[in-house]
Chain A
């Protein structure tokens, strides 16, 4: 790793100030960033640790019934504490491995927007609201492509508010070495319709699968997806799978998620 300083601010205001420094970068749970630093793929001058900020951790339900999760809440804490939204809790409990889940945070995963990460699918699939130190961003506007989000330089996610669906599930086809999703599908049924978010598959990162949403909003069963397919044109192709294979998996994993949720 290149040399850098670490700051551990106690408040969001201090963190925002520290992040205004040249080449400063936020550090959440570090489960992606630290391996990246070891490979010298990032060269910050200052890492601003967000995990010491009080008030960024915890799970609550707001007056509107949304599940509000502090950005520094770990995957293990979501797995254990988000029981009112089983699809989310189960998804969090299957990220990485237990030690990774004890450090990795929801805010870190969303801000990184890895095209194969699980959390972006849950946030987009549930239609969550990403709250930052300065504004609220709908998940539909937040994810802007592989490793790209609507966050400005130095903007910090503080909380994510999830509408709790009537039924939901996440089905992940796991890449066994990395335990990231080769393809993951998050489906959520709300009174107003069904949302489907796919991770791991597209060159553009997480995306909503509109055709499946339409079919499932009419009939929330796996058989409603018969004949519904996603084009392979912008799917990822790598040594783990061709674009055609990933497109195939999108349909399969979505069906599995619907079966699990129904």
Chain B
């Protein structure tokens, strides 16, 4: 057992971990941040995507010990403290970018990473960037559309399940 400290969503966090404790287990079980989901636990689905030192990573495929001293951002840190959704989250709501919602935390965190580096992605760039995020409701069209809308681009010509009014 050892002690780790990290900055999670801007606040200091600490806890005791085993060597084999995954970052996602530390976030969910020790810190109670259950917004980060474990879909597959095999690095395939991306539901556990968080940012470590600004980079999107799969928190089920990184040990908590490796994040000692790091800055970690999760879905809980995306909305404003009063609950106001950020631009990406609001676009997911506006464009019906979620169905069951299980993959959504990972989708939003991947989208945030993409838009940080590529503020105006093409549809192809969005789809390529989401290769590591699986939506088993298969709601990809609206997810892609929501991310393009969140980037401030006109999405009227982009196919989607429903048109946002």
Q: How large is the interface on A (under 10, 10 to 19, 20 to 34, 35 or more residues)?
A: 20 to 34
Q: Which residues of A are found within 8 Å of B2, using beta-carbon distances?
A: 6
Q: Does B20 lie within 8 Å of A99, measured CB to CB? A: no
**Who on chain B is nearest to A96 by CB?**
B132
| Residue interface bits B27-48, CB-to-A below 8 A is 1, else 0 | 0000000000000011110100
Q: Which residues of A are found within 8 Å of B58, using beta-carbon distances?
A: 99-100, 103
How far apart sit A8 and B135, CA to CA, in the bound complex (Å)?
Answer: 35
**Who on chain A is nearest to B64 by CB?**
A6
Q: Of the candidates A31, A51, A99, which one forms a contact with B56 in the assembled complex, judged by CB atoms under 8 Å apart? A: A99
Q: Of the candidates B18, B41, B57, B65, which one forms a contact with A99 in the assembled complex, judged by CB atoms under 8 Å apart? A: B57
Q: Which residues of A are found within 8 Å of B43, using beta-carbon distances?
A: 31, 34-35, 100
CB within 8 Å of B: which of A31-76?
31, 34-35, 37-38, 47, 49, 51, 76
Q: Of the candidates B19, B61, B68, B133, which one forms a contact with A35 in the assembled complex, judged by CB atoms under 8 Å apart? A: B61
How far apart sit A35 and B65, CA to CA, in the bound complex (Å)?
Answer: 17
- Minimum C-beta distance from A249 to chain B (A): 21
Q: Does A103 lie within 8 Å of B19, measured CB to CB? A: no
CB within 8 Å of A: which of B1-55?
2, 18-20, 22, 41-44, 46, 49, 55
Q: Does B113 lie within 8 Å of A98, measured CB to CB? A: yes
Known contacts A30-B62, A38-B41, A49-B65; A6/B110 CB under 8 A: no
Q: Which positions in A face B, CB cutoff 8 Å?
A: 1-6, 8, 27, 30-31, 34-35, 37-38, 47, 49, 51, 76, 96-100, 102-103, 177, 179
Q: Which positions in B face A, CB cutoff 8 Å?
A: 2, 18-20, 22, 41-44, 46, 49, 55-58, 61-63, 65-66, 68, 110, 113-114, 129, 131-133
28 A-B pairs with CB atoms under 8 Å apart are: A1-B20, A2-B20, A6-B2, A6-B19, A8-B65, A8-B68, A27-B63, A30-B62, A30-B66, A34-B22, A34-B61, A34-B62, A35-B43, A35-B61, A38-B42, A47-B19, A47-B63, A97-B46, A97-B131, A97-B132, A97-B133, A98-B110, A99-B57, A99-B58, A100-B58, A100-B61, A100-B132, A102-B55
